[in-house]
Amino acid sequence: MEAKERVLNENPLTKKQTQRLEGKLGLQFKDPNLLNVALTLAHASGSKASVGSPYQRLEFLGDTVLSLATTMVLLKRFPDATEHFLTRCRENLVSTETLASVMERLDLTRYCDLSQIEADSLSTKMKADVVEALIGAVFTDSGLEQVVEFVEDEIIVPDVNDPAYQKTKQYKLAQVAAALEMGEPWYQHGTATGSGASIQYSVVVRIDGQVAGRATGKTKRLAREAAARSALKLHFTINRGSEPADTQTKPRHAPSS
């Protein structure tokens, strides 16, 4: 057992990789080794971590905690919904397909110590397992509240057709970037500072790989919204009524690197 557990950490993340992944997740692990364990899905020849290994224990824990955290988020968002509606929503959000898409969106395979062939051949189930193990690591390191935030930020993706979302600066920035044939805004989370009521999350928004805006906020969602507002203010001019529709939105200057 001890020999097999050592295998899980034979290719740990570098400090730079850990910081990059923490920034992408908007987290700062007290025990970075939990990330190593959570991302040890497969090694050469696609062999899965052994039964009873730290990886499988995190996966099992993550599966349980994810269900609870998702339930908490849904009860808060839909206070008058029926049990049937809530159950259907939860089933969809914690499904293998949804979790696999989360792994792809976060590009977690680059941190999993896999060859390109192994990464390309990962099944949908194996991708979902990684996300569950990651959630187990987040819970072990930071508790249920942080898992709830992860669910809100990474699993419940905003609906672009939602009128409430269409009022946000994030939606407006995405629309402006698309109209100007620029890349989709990408929000990179930095290290959180402070704790408790005084915690502040930092976010950098990039467009076409260049920094377009920076901001901080009491939650990651507020920080992203503030970063989008900053990008719109710093780099784009929006004129209404005075010019033709196709020129009403203009880049003020190129985003910085």
Catalytic residues: 63, 132
Compute the distance between CA of residue 118 and CA of residue 97 in angstroms, rounded to an integer: 19
Three-class secondary structure of residue 8 per DSSP:
coil
- Residue 7 buriedness (CB in 10 A; 0-12 / 13-18 / 19+): middle
Compute the distance between CA of residue 113 and CA of residue 254 in angstroms, rounded to an integer: 36
Q: Which residue in the block uniquely carries the two structure tokens 């939606």?
A: 171
What is the DSSP-derived secondary structure letter of residue 45?
A: G
Q: Give the sheet arrangement for strand 201-207, strand by strand.
A: 186-189, 201-207, 210-217
- Answer for the pair 100, 108: CB distance below 8 angstroms, yes or no: no
SS3 content of the chain, % helix, strand, coil (to 5): 60, 10, 30
- Residue 214: strand pairing partners: 204
Cβ neighbours around 119 below 10 Å, total: 15
